[in-house]
Amino acid sequence: MAEITYLQAINDAMREEMERDPSVFLLGEDVGHYGGAFKVTKGLLDKFGEERVIDTPISESAIAGAAIGAAITGMRPIAEMQFADFITVAFNQLVSNAATMHYRFGIPVPMVVRAPSGGRIHGGPFHSKNPEAWFAHQPGLKVVAPATVYDAKGLLKSAIRDNNPVIYFEHKYYYRRLKQEIDEDKEILVPLGQANIVKSGDDLTIITYGGTLHMCIEAAEQAEKEDGLDVQVMDLRTLAPLDKSAILESVRKTSRVVIVHEDDLTGGIGGEVAAIIAQEGFEYLDAPVRRVASIDTPTPYSPVLEQVYYPNVSDILNVVRETAAF
């Protein structure tokens, strides 16, 4: 067993898959000689060489297009967007080409796009975005958002092996802050499309993912200690496809649901989860489904305003209490 960071888990996953499969390679801005903007790809150039760790021009559209071309010819590219915010430049390549290629031509597109996302790092409006809902909306794309060290490694390895294009949202705030003991001798694979019950409970379910999971766990523990509430916490892990059966099973169990995510409220994943519950689990509800998310504005640069913009433990706890008391 060895304690590793969230960042190291991602690096280990790429290294292991590159060792296992010679068709796996990396491309992106500064992923080679510099080791990545956050040093996530550090050491991989030395191990695998310039043919498999490719520094690209500053052109997200070109990176995505090259990855698509490589994928349809039998390679398994891992393309890095230096910041998830700049994935918008590659939007047409991903939603119009990568996502539709198999539907149009029957050709698999086994590629992963790594997108360092999320805020609470004082990055302002151009380095803090959570754009996962845009891609979860597009048929043909799979979308994952790991919130633990174990899942960061296991989901990435599964994504690399998947024959569909996968957008992998890794949260920048977690890179060096999250640590976990991992058995380095055991292969870790987390199946795509399966949610995880992080904390079991009977009174209420918090459904979350990515940047807010650990806040939700803290809020659930506070609710138990201070209010006697037995709160269940579900980590979606995969946002497309959503694990409908796990969501509905939890609704049947607790009858109360609070959905939490770091992305903006309007048009977020939480709205889709709430719609699933309203359509297929309404009879089990004892209270309205509530959502906690970021404010519908660009991400502020000011640390003080940023604290107000993002949901926090207190926000989550207040909504949990209100929902439990309904």
Residues taking part in catalysis = 127
CA atoms within 13 A on the CB side of 2: 9
Name the H helices within 162-302: 213-227, 244-254, 269-280
d(CA 170, CA 148): 10
DSSP state of 4: E
What ranges make up the beta strands (E) of 9-141? 24-28, 53-55, 76-80, 112-117
d(CA 226, CA 9): 35
d(CA 181, CA 149): 9
Write down how long the chain is: 326
Cα–Cα distance list, 74 to 10, 24, 31, 160, 244 (Å): 23, 10, 22, 13, 32
Q: Beta strand 196-199 with 179-182: parallel, antiparallel or unpaired?
A: unpaired
Amino acid at site 269: I
Amino acid at site 114: R
DSSP state of 297: S
**Alpha-carbon torsion angle 86, 87, 90, 93, nearest 10:** 180
Taking each helix axis from N to C end, the angle separating 6-20 and 149-161, rounded to the nearest 10 degrees, works out to 30
d(CA 183, CA 20): 18
Beta bridge partners of 205: 232, 257
DSSP state of 271: H
